[in-house]
């Protein structure tokens, strides 16, 4: 269900962006091509944006600058390609708005954020898989989803921690894990996703798991986590 939602969403989003670009050309086909050129940057932001960590603030800021710069390079190359190919369709000159970095970042951020909002509202991800497969140390790993205690991102490496404390190291970033895991899991921090069933106690800003591990809950996620605890069977300790 989640995969189909994402496909449908980005098809619709591409159509909406093409209507925005329609004012730049007399041809809808050219406007649609300009819209499609935004997809690589949007997908890059979707799959790699969540991997930036601010545990080291300076590194986080530099990674953000590199990340935004890569998006601009991708989009500018595609703009030049589409503009040169569709010059016969009379694209307006100059295409100032397409070269405005703030326009590119805000447009991609708006559609990326809307996707996450709709997915949450529609409860996308209700189909539950019993097993999950991923690559760890160049080996294919297949484990039960319920056996996962939490996911931790440490800079460029992510660790899947299962019941009993065993860890699997993987290059699959934490945003990708957020996309493949269902509502049995909750994102509580830029660097942590936890299995709700593994949580045995919560104090303000911190979760305690049945394994004894203590996971910090960052401010952007705190309200959502507290709402979930309000609906659960055990109290939130202050």
- pLDDT tens for 132-155 read 888 898 889 889 999 999 999 987
The mean pLDDT value of the chain amounts to 78
Least confident of 49-53, 65-69, 150-154, 206-210: 49-53
* Superfamily classification of domain 133-230: LytTr DNA-binding domain (2.40.50.1020)
Selection from 108, 103, 64, 113 nearest residue 220 by Cα: 113
d(CA 24, CA 59): 39
Helices (H), the chain: 2-21, 28-36, 38-48, 57-85, 101-121, 174-180, 219-230
Provide the 10 A C-beta neighbour count for residue 223: 10
d(CA 86, CA 122): 38
Per-residue model confidence (pLDDT) at position 203: 75
Provide the 10 A C-beta neighbour count for residue 75: 24
pLDDT one-digit tens code per residue, 25-41: 767 777 787 788 888 88
> Residue 196 in 3-state DSSP?
helix
Whether the per-residue pLDDT at 126 is higher than 50: the answer is: no
> Residue 72 in 3-state DSSP?
helix
d(CA 145, CA 101): 40
Q: What is the model's pTM?
A: 0.48
| Mean pLDDT for the stretch of residues 156-169 | 90
- Residue 78: CB partners within 8 Å, gap ≥ 6? 37, 38, 40, 41
| The CA-based dihedral angle spanning residues 138, 142, 143, 149, taken in that order and rounded to the nearest 10 degrees | 30
| Mean pLDDT for the stretch of residues 192-200 | 89
pLDDT one-digit tens code per residue, 73-98: 888 888 777 667 655 545 554 456 67
Domain ranges of the chain: 2-121, 133-230
């Amino acid at each position: 269900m989640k995969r189909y939602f994402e496909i449908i969403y980005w098809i619709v989003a591409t159509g909406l962006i093409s209507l925005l670009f329609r004012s730049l050309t007399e041809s809808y086909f050219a406007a649609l091509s300009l819209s499609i050129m935004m997809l690589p940057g949007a997908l890059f932001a979707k799959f790699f944006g969540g991997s930036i960590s601010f545990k080291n603030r300076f590194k986080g800021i530099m990674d953000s600058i590199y990340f935004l710069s890569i998006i601009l390079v991708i989009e500018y190359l595609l703009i030049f390609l589409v503009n040169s190919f569709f010059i016969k369709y009379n694209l307006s000159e100059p295409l100032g708005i397409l070269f405005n970095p703030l326009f590119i970042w805000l447009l991609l951020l708006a559609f990326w954020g809307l996707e996450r909002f709709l997915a949450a509202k529609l409860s996308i991800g209700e189909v539950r898989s019993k097993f999950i497969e991923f690559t760890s140390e160049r080996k294919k790993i297949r484990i039960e989803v319920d056996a996962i205690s939490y996911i931790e991102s440490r800079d460029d490496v992510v660790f899947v921690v299962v019941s009993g404390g065993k860890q699997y190291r993987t290059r699959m970033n934490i945003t990708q894990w957020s996309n493949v895991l269902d509502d049995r899991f909750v994102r509580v921090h830029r660097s942590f996703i936890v299995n709700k069933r593994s949580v045995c106690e919560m104090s303000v800003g911190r979760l305690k798991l049945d394994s004894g591990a203590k996971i910090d809950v960052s401010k952007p996620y705190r309200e959502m986590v507290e709402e979930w605890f309000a609906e659960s069977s055990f109290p939130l300790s202050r």
